[in-house]
Structure 1
Amino acid sequence: YAKSLGIPTIFWNKEDGVHFDRFIESAKLFDHIFTVDENCISKYQAVVDSHVTVNTLMFAIQPSIHHFTGFHFKYNETNFVGSYSHHIHSKRRTWQNLIFEASSETKTKLTIFDRNSNRKSSKYRYPKYDNMSINTAVAYVETAQIYKDYLISFNVNTIEDSTTMFSRRLIEIIACGGIAITNNTPAVESYFKDYCYTFKNKNELINLLNKLKEGPTEIDLARAKSGAEFIAKNHTWTHRLQEIRTIIGIK
């Protein structure tokens, strides 16, 4: 219907590259395809008509929700907002278990906000570790306050080989001035390495936690503030909409 009225149609797959096959038949119906994962561009181009444009559109933040308001940490502790699964995303699960183990071994209190707390299947239940508590899901708009309240916010990137795909949670943490710790990826290296802490193994994470759990240094706070400014200046939905307008030719 939109095409019959001359309205450009846009498909954005924010689940690439994990769910490329799941959505490709839907994507083929559109004039313009955007993907969070640059690695998938050639895959789309191989199966869509030549007139279809295919471009990258990375995640962004909504600044009315995730924005910097100064530093007011209530808890000298860590948090993770998200899901856990026993049947999918095995690499992601390995990173999460590493976080749980390191937190337990360093006696760093970790609070989980379980996105799937309303699901009854045991496939979505978090494991139990010392110093880890599991809370029910929170509304999306409430996540910003969590990142501001807790000294450290953990992130896990499911896709580890992309220069453009990263967890949206990472930039939401940074946008709030949170101190983020995340597994490293090419995308993190390309865009956010100056504004978050990264780790490649449990020993690196243990060292980070032992350093940070006593409280942030002036360098930590300056880094976090710079990160919030960087996200606000470069990675909001206003920026992404302008990218879309440029590509599809809307002035």
Structure 2
Amino acid sequence: MQQPENINSLAAAVSYNKGRESGAHDGYEEGYLKGRANAIVARNSATFPLRPLHIMYVSSGKQYPYSPIDQAIITTLRGMVHQVTLADPRQQVADIAAHVKPDLVLALDAMELPVNQVDEIRKKGIRTAVWLTDDPYYTDTTAKMAPHYDHIFTLEINCIDLYHKLGCSSVHYLPFGAYPDHYFPLTVPSTVRREVNFTGSAYWNRIYFMNPIMPQLMSYNTGINGLWWDRLENYPQYAHKIEVNKWHGPEDTNQVYNGTKIVINLHRSHLDDSVNNNSKLKIPAASPNPRCFEICSASAFQLTDVRDDLARFYKAGEEIETYSTSQELIEKIEYYLTHERERQEIALRGLERTMKEHTYTHRLHQMFSILFP
């Protein structure tokens, strides 16, 4: 029997009002959270006195994902020292250094920079430093490069002994950090709405880890993007949720982090001989990857696999959350999707720790405190 029209109208009105109240509540909660996050950023932005230094910066010479790091370091440098001269590894870097006479030539990655250029710079009495971006995954190459520099900065704590044994006298542990102009809490709703997300290349250890839990993982509103994810066993089944071979720049990645309830971080393996250049020494990795700091800088809740040196940077269960097995990952996803307030508070504490200690400003201040005490 057809319902009277007034009953249908009443039901529609009740449904509309409930939806409106729910939307208003969710909007208020999101706005309140974003307000707290941006207040944390405002009161913890790092500033240091301008140093009377002239730094010649030699970029990686590579494209994404290195180019955003180059941009972050260049912009940060310009706010910290009196003068910055830029160079590309394909240029005659030694001639440029001889002409501008900087206090320091700092190279990022340096795999594209010929070591004979570095030798020429040092012969002119100009100090050199390299910030190695991919330790320990390319130690077969970096072991040959490192002795040509005055100062070595590595983002992997397990590589310090290697460079000391090679005769490098000035070796320092300096992980990457977050660049708050790239990764930050948005003031408006993100264009992305997900429960779970993973951004990164599908190295084989990630494939082996994800394969058994893909049905559970994809039962949520989950997104994945990066290279090689068509390696998954049942990739066609999940292809509509996976962006294969698509690099997200910082702007898109920040949208994803801001619009995702749980961002997964899963580090690559030092034993993947198909992509690594760590075949001789097989140095294990203990330090967190750059993504660890970037996720927190976006005020996103991070669920990361355990690295031995992670506790130096974040407190597990307070500023970040961890897992050791694929089953534990699923269990914690289920828990934190149903404990929203707890998840949000951890994300905010992770943001605050990052802004206080783990930006590129902090890292370069640490570098200059070592080189120019």
Deviation at 1:159, TM superposition (A): 5.5
Determine the structure 1 residue equivalent to 2:183: 66
Determine the structure 2 residue equivalent to 1:206: 330
1:91 equivalent in alignment to 2:205: yes
User: Residue 351 of structure 2 is aligned with which of 220, 225, 228?
Assistant: 228
**CA displacement 1:178-214 (0-9 Å, x = unmatched):** 1111111112233222322211112212211222334
Conserved? CA contact 1:99–1:205, under 8 Å: no
- C-alpha RMSD of the superposition: 2.5
Structure 1 stretches of 4+ with a deviation exceeding 6 A read none
Letter in 2 for 1:226: R
User: Residue 319 of structure 2 is aligned with which of 159, 177, 195?
Assistant: 195
**CA displacement 1:51-97 (0-9 Å, x = unmatched):** x3011011111111112346946524211111114xxxx43443343
Q: Distance in 2 between matches of 1:5 and 1:223?
A: 51
Deviation at 1:155, TM superposition (A): 0.7
User: Residue 294 of structure 2 is aligned with which of 153, 172, 185?
Assistant: 172
Letter in 1 for 2:154: T
Letter in 1 for 2:252: E
Q: Which moved more, 1:196-205 or 1:38-47?
A: 196-205
Aligned residues: 233
Structure 1 unaligned blocks of 5 or more: 117-122
Q: Which has the larger radius of gyration?
A: 2
Determine the structure 2 residue equivalent to 1:81: 199
Q: Distance in 1 between matches of 2:212 and 2:364?
A: 37
Secondary structure at the counterpart of residue 178 of structure 1: coil
Higher RCO (CA < 8 A, seq sep 6+): 1
Determine the structure 2 residue equivalent to 1:186: 308
Residue correspondence of structure 1 range 137-148 to structure 2 within 5 A: 137-148=247-258
Residue correspondence of structure 1 range 24-63 to structure 2 within 5 A: 24-49=143-168, 52-63=169-180
Q: Identity of counterpart residues, as a percentage?
A: 23
Q: Distance in 2 between matches of 1:23 and 1:162?
A: 15
Shift of the 208–113 alpha-carbon distance from structure 1 to 2, 3 Å rule, reads: same
Secondary structure at the counterpart of residue 97 of structure 1: helix
Larger helix share, 1 or 2 = 2
Determine the structure 2 residue equivalent to 1:238: 361
Q: Distance in 1 between matches of 2:340 and 2:145?
A: 49
1:22 equivalent in alignment to 2:141: yes
Conserved? CA contact 1:156–1:167, under 8 Å: no
Secondary structure at the counterpart of residue 309 of structure 2: helix
Determine the structure 1 residue equivalent to 2:242: 134
**CA displacement 1:207-231 (0-9 Å, x = unmatched):** 11222334x5222111111111110
Conserved? CA contact 1:182–1:197, under 8 Å: yes
Structure 2 unaligned blocks of 5 or more: 1-93, 95-120, 271-283
TM-score by length of 1: 0.82
